[in-house]
Amino acid sequence: MKRMFLLFSHKLTDSQEADAKNSLGVSEFVYLNENLQELWSNIPPDMADIKGYLEPLVEFLKYSLSREDIVLVQGDFGATCYISKVLKELGGVPVYATTKRDVVEIKVGDKIEKKSVFEHVMFREYF
């Protein structure tokens, strides 16, 4: 039973869930509890070293992750790089979602409004 842990600030779309099941063999999705989600979604921008701040999340992963579990990691760049490295050391598989962006231009009177629509394409493993 392969699980996908979700370290990002959104809910999966239906197409992301279907892709994870079909292409990665995921059978269970694991969202963070409220405290860890709050921690991941609110990394202080003025903190020089975030390793200590992320320690509760690292401990959760150490005790929850099985080898080859998939972890969707998206968020603060530094935290994403650090957690991806930790996951590799633990035997997990860190991935991110790729998207295709379509820009639609809409004429409203004398103005042109642009709207970006993002569509899930695939999951890609971090190196």
The predicted-structure confidence for 114-123, as pLDDT tens digits, reads as follows 999 899 999 9
SS3 call for 43: coil
Determine contact, residues 93/87, Cβ cutoff 8 Å. Answer: yes
Measured distance CA(7)–CA(79) in Å, rounded: 10
Tokens describing residue 76: 């603060």
The predicted-structure confidence for 87-123, as pLDDT tens digits, reads as follows 999 999 999 999 999 998 999 999 999 999 899 999 9
Measured distance CA(74)–CA(92) in Å, rounded: 15
Tokens describing residue 64: 């929850």
Number of domains composing the chain: 1
The amino acid at residue 29 is: F
Provide the residue range defining the domain that includes 57: 2-125
